Amino acid sequence: MTIWINVIVQGVLVGGLYAMFAAGLSLIFGIMRLVNIAHGDLIVLAAYLALVTAETLGIGPLPALLIVAPLMALVGYALQRLLLNRTLGHDLLPPLLVTFGLSVIIQNGLLELFSADSRRLQAGAIEVATFPLSEGLSIGALPLLSFVVAVAVIGALQLVLYRTALGRAFRATADDPDVAQLMGLDNQHIFALAMALSLAVVAVAGVFLAVRANFDPAIGPARLIFGFEAVIIGGLGSLWGTLAGGVLLGVAQAIGAQLDPGWQMLAGHLMFLLVLAVRPEGLFPRVRA
């Protein structure tokens, strides 16, 4: 029995990480109706940036994050302003194909620079620290930390969206980009700021990915898929829903893995397909007026 409780707890905690993968994706889709196929690869890019920063400067993951997050935000601003803003419009193909091309470029660029070897960001003692809860049940410090950070990140995003002028600007531009301009908001700039924010979150997700597991240039698409599944399971338009979606995905994967290691990913996908079949709007969709 404790095995299963352990499994579920692990699933919940990794769900936080998935929610972090998803949060940036959800934000961008909500504000500009853009699904960034390169999202997962950008997470991996952030992981490599953190690795390089940590190794060159001889610092730990947290200080590295403080450097990588603003850097990724800048990358996001430039990416949106220079490239992705040109793809926005009514046509579906350009943003999809351009971000797909971007995904291929990032993956192969990383492959060129770093080779296909698995890498890991060292975090020191915290990697193995655990908190024993009861007989046979303990929680890893790192998984717990990533879950807490995920909740904090989503909380912070909610705060920005609903309690700040910037968030108001985001929501208004999402509602009606033309009228938003009449308020003095420059759409090009607003979208770029949104992407900058999204990539800042991606940076956090990337650092936790780098510390938690071995990574290599090819794992981007899987992170995109996990993030995407978390968003759909949780329901479009709701960040807390995305957290719930991530948790459910994590739990499904954990249960699958416990039954047979080869079933881990499959279990997650099946959970996604099940939600799609039975409740396609997701578990906690935000009802749009």
Partner 1 sequence: MLLEVAALDAFYGDFQALFGVSLRVAAGEAVAIIGANGAGKSTLLKSIAGLMRARPDAIRFDGVPIGVMPAHAVASRGIALVPEGRRLFASLTVEENLLIGGQLGRPGRWTLQRVYALFPALAERARMPAPSLSGGQQQMVALGRALMSNPRLMLCDELSLGLAPIVVRDIYATLPAILGQGTSLIIVEQDIAQALKAATQVYCLQEGRVALAGAARELTREAIAAAYFGV
Partner 2 sequence: MSAVRVEFGGRIGRPALLAIVVIALAAAPAWGGRDDLRLLAEIYAYVGLASLWNLLAGYAGLVSVGQQAYVGLGAYLLFALTLLAGVPPLLAIPLAGVIAAIVALPAAALLFRLRGHYFAIGTWIVAEVFRLLASQASVLGGGSGLSLPVGIVTSIAATRQEREFLIYWVALALVLVVLLLIVALLRSRYGLALKAIRDNEPAALSNGIDVTRIKVIVYIVTAFATAMIGALIFLQKLRISPDAAFSVNDWTAFVIFMTVIGGIGRIEGPIIGAVVFFALRQTLADLGTLYLLLLGAVAIVVMLWAPKGIWGLIVARFGWQVFPLERHVVALARSQDSGAKAP
The footprint of partner 1 (CB under 8 A) covers 165, 168-169, 171-172, 174-176, 178-187, 288-289
Q: Which residues bind to partner 2, rule: CB under 8 A? A: 29, 33-35, 37, 83, 86-87, 92-98, 100-105, 108-109, 111-112, 221, 224-225, 228-229, 232, 262-263, 265-266, 269-270, 272-273, 276-277, 280
Q: How far is the CB of 282 from partner 2 (least distance, A)?
A: 11
- Nearest CB to partner 2, comparing residues 146 and 253: 253
* Whether 227 contacts 18, CB under 8 Å: yes
Within 10 A of 78 (CB to CB), how many other CB atoms are there?
14
Q: How far is the CB of 171 from partner 2 (least distance, A)?
A: 20
- Decide which of partner 1, partner 2, none touches 87; Cβ closer than 5 to 8 Å per partner kind: partner 2
Q: How far is the CB of 211 from partner 2 (least distance, A)?
A: 25
- Decide which of partner 1, partner 2, none touches 228; Cβ closer than 5 to 8 Å per partner kind: partner 2
**If we measure between CA atoms, which residue out of 249, 244, 200 comes closest to residue 222?**
249
- Decide which of partner 2, partner 1, none touches 216; Cβ closer than 5 to 8 Å per partner kind: none
- Nearest CB to partner 1, comparing residues 171 and 269: 171
**3-state SS, residue 132:** strand
- Nearest CB to partner 1, comparing residues 184 and 261: 184
* Whether 163 contacts 229, CB under 8 Å: no
* Whether 218 contacts 107, CB under 8 Å: yes
Q: How far is the CB of 22 from partner 1 (least distance, A)?
A: 20
Cβ neighbours of residue 42 closer than 8 Å, sequence gap 6 or more: 36, 72, 106, 199, 202, 206, 220
* Whether 286 contacts 276, CB under 8 Å: no
Spatial separation of the C-alpha atoms in residues 226 and 269, rounded to whole Å: 9
